[in-house]
Structure 1
Amino acid sequence: MNVFHRSVSALAICAAMVLPQIAVAQDSDAQTRLGGLEEIVVTAQRVSQSAQKAPLPVDVVTSADLRQQIVTRAEDLSRTSPALATVGGAGGTTTFYLRGVGNNTVNAYSDPAIAFNYDGVYIGRPSSTSGMFYDLARVEVLKGPQGTLYGRNATGGAINVIPNRPRLDEFGVDATVGYGNYNWWTAQAALNVPAGDSVAMRLAGTLSRHDAFMSDGTGNQREYGARFQIYAEPAPQLDLRIAADYAHQGGASSSSYYFGSVDPTFGPSGFAGYEYKRSGFSSLQGLGDPASQDYLASRYITQVGRAGAASDGNPSNDNDYWGVTAELNYKTDIGTLTIQPAWREAHIDYRFANIFREAGSKEDDRQASIEARWAGQAGPQIDYLLGGMYFDEKIGATAYYNQWTLSPFQEFDTHTKSWAGFGKFTFRPIERLSLTAAGRYTSDRKSFDGVSNVYILFCGNPALRNSCPTLPFMPLATNGADVESFYGAAGIPVTSVPLFVLPDAFGGSQTAPFVLRSPIVINSSLKNNKFTYRLAAQYDFSPSNMVYASFETGYHAGGFSFARGLDSYQPETLDAYTLGSKNRFLGNRLQLNVEAFLWKYRNQQFSQFGYDLGDPPSTVLLTRNIGTSTIKGVDLDVEFQATPDTLLSGSIQYLDTKYDSFVYYAPNQGLPPKTACGYSPTTQTTPGGSVVNVFEIDCSGRQAFNAPKWSFTVNGEQTVPLGDLKLVLQAGTRYRSSTYFSADYLPFLKSKSNFVTTLSATLAQASDRWSITAYAFNVTDSRRLANAVINSANLYVADAEQPRTYGLRASFHY
C-alpha cells in the first residue's frame, strides 16, 4: 500500500475514533467560549449553506481577504488559495490551474478547464474575466470536477465570483481609495439605496491604474468598471433581481523579458548538445528596452541567414466588457423555482509582444444563457434540486502573430451550443447520515470556420545555412496582403511551393530567398454528449463535526486548433475520489478541515506552442489529447481564534502528480528537440498525403505543470484596542515548492520554490466606520518564474510574477 492510500486510511480511522470524543468535549467547553469564528455561507451546491456543512472541497475568499490581498484582477486570486495558480496573459486573458489541472486557453477556439462563473453566469472566454473584482461578497474556489450543478462542465474546478447584492431597508455607503508605488491609484465605492419597503438598488464602481512594471513602458494598467443592481420583493413569495455591469481595460500587457539563449554545440563527431546561457537581465527589463533590443539584434537567425532583428511592437489593450442578468426566485410550500437568463458581450482589441515582434487580436464575443432550477423537499428526509441550462456563444475574430521569420494571419468564426439537464437528491436515512446522488447530461455542439494564411521567410534551402545579410525580416503587418506587397516591392517571390524543391525551369533555387505562403483552412464541427455524476455520503458527529466521502466524474468538451492534421481534439474526462472532514472545536474557536483526494484523468487536454502537420510545418498554438494522468494529495486548513483579538490561520497542500501517458511530436529538421524527455525519430503523414520526419517526445512519468508538491499559507491578525480606535496588524506568507510549467522539462525552465509575504497595519474606528491601512505585498520582491517560451532567435522569453508593491488605502463605511 503506497503512502497516499495509507494516509487516506489513517484519516478515516482517526476521524471515526477521535471526532465523537472531541465533539462531546467541545459541548462541555462551550462555557469557556471567548468568541467564535465567523460562519461563512456559500452557494457551492446551488443552495445557501454554511461552508462547514458543505460536503465538498471549497476555498472561500471573503471580502476582507480580497481587500487584504489587493485582488483587482483574476490573476491576483493565486495569492488567496494554495490550490490555485493563475497566470495573466495578453489582452486580459487569465489561465487558471487547480492542483496542476488547467490549460493555456489564450485563443478564442478553446475552452478553459477551470469554469469561471460571475454572479451565477458562466463566462466562456478567459479574456472576459476583467473588471469584476470589486464590491464582492466572496469568491468560492471549488476544487475538483464540476460535472453536475455549475455552468458548463469543467474537469479541474470552478471559480465563483459573487457580488454583494442590494439590501432592503438599509442605506449604506462603502468607499476605498488607495495609492502606492508605480503611481498606483485604486478606488472602489458602493452605494445601497432602499426605495420603499420592498425595493433596493445598489451601484458600485472601481478604478485601478498604475504605471508600467517593465522598463520599456509595458505592464501598466488602466481599468475601470461599474455595476448596477435592483432588487424587489413584489410579493412575500417572489423576489427579482436585475443586474448590469460594464468594464473597460486599457493599458498594455507586459512585454516579458529575455531569460536566456540556447544554441547547438558541435564537436569532432558532430552535434554535441545544446548550451544554455542566462541573459543576466532583470525580470523587469522589458523586450523593448535598449539593452534587450541589442541582445536580440546580436542573434544570428539561421532560417533567414542574418542577424539584426528588432522588437518594435506596440503592446496595448482596448477591451470592453458588459453584461446583463436577471434572477427570479418564486417560493412555494413545496419548493423554490429559480430562473436566471443572461447576456454578455466582449469587444476585444489588444496587441502584445512576448515571443512575437507584435501580435494582436480583435474579437466580438457574444454569449446568451438561461438556467432554471427547482429546489424542494419530499418529506423530512429528502432534499432535491432539478434544473436545466442552455448556453449559446458566438465569436468572430481576426488575429495576427508577427514573428521575424513567420507570420500567420487568422480570420475565423466559432459557435458553441450547450444543453444540460441536472439533478441532485439528498436522502437522510437516519438523523446524522446524508446520502447524495447528483447527475448531469450535457450535449455540446461546436463549429469552427476559419482560415489562417501563414507566411514563412526563407534564405534559400535552410539545410544549406545560406547567408542573406540584406534580406528584410517579416514586416509589422495585420494582414497577408501587406506582407505580399512588402516583399513584392523588394523583388522577393511569395510562393505556395518552396523554391528549393522546384526544378530550375520553374524558378527553383537552393540559394534564392523567398516567402512561403501556406494557407490553413478549417471548416469543422464537433458533437459531444456526456453523462456525469456525483455520489457522496456525509456523517455528522455533532453540529460542528462531520466527515464526508465522494466519487464524481468530470467532462470537458473537445475543441479546435488552427493546425493542419491536428485541427480538433477530443473531450477529457476525470474520475475523482475525495475523503474529508470539517470541524469546529473549543467553543467554535478552532476550525480544522482536512481532505484527501485522488484524481484520474483520461484524454487530458494540453495546450502549447508546437508544430502542425503541414509540409513544411508551421508553429501554432494547438491543443492535444496527451494521454492520462494521476493527481493525488492532501489538504489541511486550520483557523484559530486564540483570543478575542488574535486570529491565526494556515493551510497546507501536498500534491503527488504524474503524467501516466504524455506523448507529443515535434518536426525533425536535423537537430534533436530541446527537451529533457525521451525522444525518437519517426514519421507522420500530413493531410495532403506527404510523409514528414518528426520526433516522438515521451514525457510520461513526469510531474504535472503548475503543480508544486508543497504549498502552504500562514496568516496572523492581531487587534490592539485603543479606546474608540483599534490597530489591526496582519502578516501572511505563501510558500510554493518548485514546479515545471512547460513540456520541455529543461532544468532551467522551472519555477523555483519561494515565499511571498504580505504585511499590513490598519488604524480604524472601533465600529469600523473608517480605517487607514499601510500595506506591503511581496515584501522580499520574490518574483517567481511563471512562463517561458522560445522565439525565432532561440531566445527564451519569460514572464515573472508581480514585483513588490506597497502603499496606503483609506476606507469609509456608513
Structure 2
Amino acid sequence: MYKLNAITLAMLMAGALPAMAAQSASDNDNQPVAESDRAIEVISVTATKRRTALMETPVAITVLTQEQLRQSGIHNIKDMADLVPGLDISMATDQAAPVISMRGVRSTNITELGDPAVGVHLDGIYSPRMQGALALMYDVERVEALRGPQGTLFGRNSTVGSINVISAKPDFSGTFGNVNLEAGRFNTRSAGGFVNLPVNDEFAIRIAAKGLKRDAYLEGYWDPNQYDTRRLSPEVLNAPVISENSYQGIGSTVTQRENWWIDSAGTDPEAQRVRALTPANKKDFYHNANEYSYRISALWEPSHGRFSNHTVFQQYSNNSGGSLDLVNCDQLRGRPDEFGGG
C-alpha cells in the first residue's frame, strides 16, 4: 500500500510540473515588456530621393547623427573624413577648398570649369563650389555619405559618391532648445544651440546658430611688401621703410629669394625700399578659425501631413586666415640645396 501511494504521488507530481511551467510562461506573457527590449531602432534615410529604412536601402551608405558628430568634434565636412570608410579629404591651399576623394577617385579641378567627383548637398540643394562644403555643420538630423556612382539621382557631379547634410526640421510637439559650449587647446571656443517654437499644430519655426574661434598653432610673420595687407595694422603699413642696403628681417637678415626680388626691382629707389617683417597675431594667422553661421527654418504641414513645405534661410561667414602648405624643416635640414634643403 505504501509503495502504491508513492508511485501515485510521483505520477501526480510529474503531471503537475508541465502544467505549472505552462502557467508560468503564460504569466510572463501577460507581464508588460519594455519597448526597448523587443524593438530595434529603425533609421530612415533619403538616399534614394524617398524615405526608406537604412537596412532596406540598396546603397553603400554611412549615416551619422547629430550626437555622433558632437561626440567626435565634427564641425564641417572636412572633419568627418575619418568616420566614413573609403573617404579622404585634403585641402587645396591655393583656393582654400577641400578635395574630396572616395574609393580612391577624386577630381582636382575645383574651379568653376570642373565638377567634383563627390557631390555635396545641403537639404537637397547642391553646393556647386567646394569652398561652400566647409560651412559649419550644426543642428543636423543626419549626414548621409553614399559610396559608389550616384549620377542617376544626383547628376554628373557625383561620379563616385555623394554627401548629403539634412538639417533638423521644426517640431510641432512643443517648445524646447539646447545650448552647447566647448573649449580646447589653442584658445578654442565654440558655442552653438537651437530653439524650437511651434506656432500651432500646422506651423513651427526652428532657429539654430553656431560660432567657432581658434588661434593658429603656427608662429610666423606678415610681409608688408606683399599685395595682401588685410591683416596688417595702419601703424605697420605707415612705418618708415628700411634702406635697401641694410634690410633686416625680424631676428634675421633678408633671405636669398628676397634679395633677388630687391635686385630685380630695377634702379628705382622707391621700388627697392622695403618694410621689415612684422610678427603675426595667432588670432588671425594661417590655420586659425573665425567663423559663424545661423539658420532659420519654418515647417508648414496643413491637411494633416498630406502637404508639407519646409523653408530654410541660412547665413554663413568665414573670416579665417586660410591654410598654408607646411615644410618639414627637420627632414630638410642638412640636405643639399638642389634637393630642396638648406
After TM superposition, the score normalised by the length of structure 1 is: 0.28
313, 317, 331: which one pairs with 1:248?
A: 317
Aligned pairs, how many?
242
Per-residue displacement from partner, 1:426-479 (whole Å, max 9, x unpaired)? xxxxxxxxxxxxxxxxxxxxxxxxxxxxxxxxxxxxxxxxxxxxxxxxxxxxxx
**CA distance in structure 1 between the partners assigned to 2:138 and 2:340 by the alignment:** 39
Judged with a 3 Å threshold, the aligned counterparts in structure 2 of structure 1 residues 36 and 197 are, in CA distance, closer, same or farther, namely closer
The answer to whether the Cα contact below 8 Å between 1:130 and 1:247 also exists between their aligned partners in 2 is no
The answer to whether the Cα contact below 8 Å between 1:214 and 1:254 also exists between their aligned partners in 2 is no
Partner of 1:278: 331
The answer to whether the Cα contact below 8 Å between 1:192 and 1:201 also exists between their aligned partners in 2 is yes
Is 1:40 the counterpart of 2:109 in the alignment? no
The answer to whether the Cα contact below 8 Å between 1:135 and 1:164 also exists between their aligned partners in 2 is yes
Partner of 1:142: 146
**CA distance in structure 1 between the partners assigned to 2:337 and 2:133 by the alignment:** 38
Deviation at 1:95, TM superposition (A): 1.1
The answer to whether the Cα contact below 8 Å between 1:176 and 1:187 also exists between their aligned partners in 2 is yes
Partner of 1:502: none
Alignment partner of 2:301: what SS? strand
104, 119, 124: which one pairs with 1:120?
A: 124
Is 1:68 the counterpart of 2:121 in the alignment? no
Deviation at 1:38, TM superposition (A): 3.1
Which AA in structure 2 matches 1:70? Answer: G
Per-residue displacement from partner, 1:156-194 (whole Å, max 9, x unpaired)? 100001100111132110111100011111111111100
**CA distance in structure 2 between the partners assigned to 1:58 and 1:117 by the alignment:** 15
Is 1:235 the counterpart of 2:239 in the alignment? no
Partner of 1:167: 171
Deviation at 1:45, TM superposition (A): 0.6
**CA distance in structure 2 between the partners assigned to 1:199 and 1:140 by the alignment:** 27
Per-residue displacement from partner, 1:583-605 (whole Å, max 9, x unpaired)? xxxxxxxxxxxxxxxxxxxxxxx
Is 1:81 the counterpart of 2:149 in the alignment? no
191, 194, 202: which one pairs with 1:198?
A: 202
Alignment partner of 2:154: what SS? coil
The answer to whether the Cα contact below 8 Å between 2:96 and 2:323 also exists between their aligned partners in 1 is no
**CA distance in structure 2 between the partners assigned to 1:244 and 1:152 by the alignment:** 27
**CA distance in structure 2 between the partners assigned to 1:230 and 1:162 by the alignment:** 14
Partner of 1:215: 219
Partner of 2:292: 224
How high is the sequence identity, in percent, across the aligned residues? Answer: 26
**CA distance in structure 2 between the partners assigned to 1:152 and 1:244 by the alignment:** 27
Mean CA deviation greater in 37-46 or 194-203: 37-46
Deviation at 1:149, TM superposition (A): 1.4
**CA distance in structure 1 between the partners assigned to 2:140 and 2:196 by the alignment:** 13
Deviation at 1:109, TM superposition (A): 2.2
Alignment partner of 2:144: what SS? strand
Deviation at 1:208, TM superposition (A): 0.8
Judged with a 3 Å threshold, the aligned counterparts in structure 2 of structure 1 residues 168 and 204 are, in CA distance, closer, same or farther, namely same
Which AA in structure 1 matches 2:301? Answer: E
Partner of 2:261: none
**CA distance in structure 1 between the partners assigned to 2:196 and 2:97 by the alignment:** 32
Per-residue displacement from partner, 1:560-612 (whole Å, max 9, x unpaired)? xxxxxxxxxxxxxxxxxxxxxxxxxxxxxxxxxxxxxxxxxxxxxxxxxxxxx
Q: Which has the higher helix share?
A: 2
Deviation at 1:103, TM superposition (A): 1.8
The answer to whether the Cα contact below 8 Å between 2:110 and 2:130 also exists between their aligned partners in 1 is yes
Which AA in structure 2 matches 1:192? Answer: N
Deviation at 1:71, TM superposition (A): 0.9
**CA distance in structure 2 between the partners assigned to 1:190 and 1:151 by the alignment:** 33
Alignment partner of 2:131: what SS? helix
Deviation at 1:215, TM superposition (A): 2.8
The answer to whether the Cα contact below 8 Å between 1:74 and 1:129 also exists between their aligned partners in 2 is yes
Which AA in structure 1 matches 2:297? Answer: Q
Is 1:258 the counterpart of 2:327 in the alignment? yes
Partner of 1:131: 135
**CA distance in structure 1 between the partners assigned to 2:107 and 2:80 by the alignment:** 17
Judged with a 3 Å threshold, the aligned counterparts in structure 2 of structure 1 residues 166 and 223 are, in CA distance, closer, same or farther, namely same
Which AA in structure 2 matches 1:137? Answer: E
109, 113, 132: which one pairs with 2:113?
A: 109
**CA distance in structure 2 between the partners assigned to 1:259 and 1:105 by the alignment:** 27
Aligned pairs (5 A) from 1:539-554: none
Q: Structure 1: where are the runs of 5+ without partners?
A: 1-30, 261-276, 282-294, 301-793, 797-814
Choose 1 or 2 for highest CA Rg: 2
**CA distance in structure 1 between the partners assigned to 2:48 and 2:114 by the alignment:** 27
192, 200, 203: which one pairs with 1:188?
A: 192
RMSD over aligned CA atoms reads: 2.6
Alignment partner of 1:219: what SS? coil
Alignment partner of 2:142: what SS? strand
Aligned pairs (5 A) from 1:377-396: none
Aligned pairs (5 A) from 1:611-622: none
Per-residue displacement from partner, 1:211-261 (whole Å, max 9, x unpaired)? 00223242101010011111112333222111111101112122222137x
Judged with a 3 Å threshold, the aligned counterparts in structure 2 of structure 1 residues 144 and 177 are, in CA distance, closer, same or farther, namely same
Which AA in structure 2 matches 1:73? Answer: N
The answer to whether the Cα contact below 8 Å between 2:213 and 2:288 also exists between their aligned partners in 1 is yes
**CA distance in structure 1 between the partners assigned to 2:296 and 2:165 by the alignment:** 16
After TM superposition, the score normalised by the length of structure 2 is: 0.65
Which AA in structure 1 matches 2:326? Answer: Y
Q: Which has the higher strand share?
A: 1
Partner of 2:4: none
Which AA in structure 1 matches 2:185? Answer: N
Deviation at 1:153, TM superposition (A): 4.2
Which AA in structure 1 matches 2:167? Answer: P
Deviation at 1:92, TM superposition (A): 4.2
Deviation at 1:135, TM superposition (A): 0.4
Partner of 1:362: none
Per-residue displacement from partner, 1:750-774 (whole Å, max 9, x unpaired)? xxxxxxxxxxxxxxxxxxxxxxxxx
Judged with a 3 Å threshold, the aligned counterparts in structure 2 of structure 1 residues 214 and 109 are, in CA distance, closer, same or farther, namely farther
Deviation at 1:89, TM superposition (A): 3.4
Which AA in structure 2 matches 1:87? Answer: S
The answer to whether the Cα contact below 8 Å between 2:88 and 2:102 also exists between their aligned partners in 1 is yes
Aligned pairs (5 A) from 1:512-591: none
Which AA in structure 2 matches 1:278? Answer: Q
Partner of 1:482: none
The answer to whether the Cα contact below 8 Å between 2:196 and 2:205 also exists between their aligned partners in 1 is yes
Q: Structure 2: where are the runs of 5+ without partners?
A: 1-32, 221-284
The answer to whether the Cα contact below 8 Å between 2:64 and 2:142 also exists between their aligned partners in 1 is yes
Alignment partner of 2:151: what SS? coil
Deviation at 1:37, TM superposition (A): 5.2
**CA distance in structure 2 between the partners assigned to 1:174 and 1:150 by the alignment:** 33
Judged with a 3 Å threshold, the aligned counterparts in structure 2 of structure 1 residues 132 and 251 are, in CA distance, closer, same or farther, namely closer
Which AA in structure 1 matches 2:315? Answer: Y
Per-residue displacement from partner, 1:284-336 (whole Å, max 9, x unpaired)? xxxxxxxxxxx9xx957xxxxxxxxxxxxxxxxxxxxxxxxxxxxxxxxxxxx
The answer to whether the Cα contact below 8 Å between 1:92 and 1:129 also exists between their aligned partners in 2 is no
Judged with a 3 Å threshold, the aligned counterparts in structure 2 of structure 1 residues 224 and 35 are, in CA distance, closer, same or farther, namely farther
Per-residue displacement from partner, 1:681-711 (whole Å, max 9, x unpaired)? xxxxxxxxxxxxxxxxxxxxxxxxxxxxxxx
**CA distance in structure 1 between the partners assigned to 2:204 and 2:129 by the alignment:** 32
Per-residue displacement from partner, 1:391-422 (whole Å, max 9, x unpaired)? xxxxxxxxxxxxxxxxxxxxxxxxxxxxxxxx
Is 1:95 the counterpart of 2:148 in the alignment? no
The answer to whether the Cα contact below 8 Å between 1:98 and 1:156 also exists between their aligned partners in 2 is yes
**CA distance in structure 2 between the partners assigned to 1:61 and 1:141 by the alignment:** 8
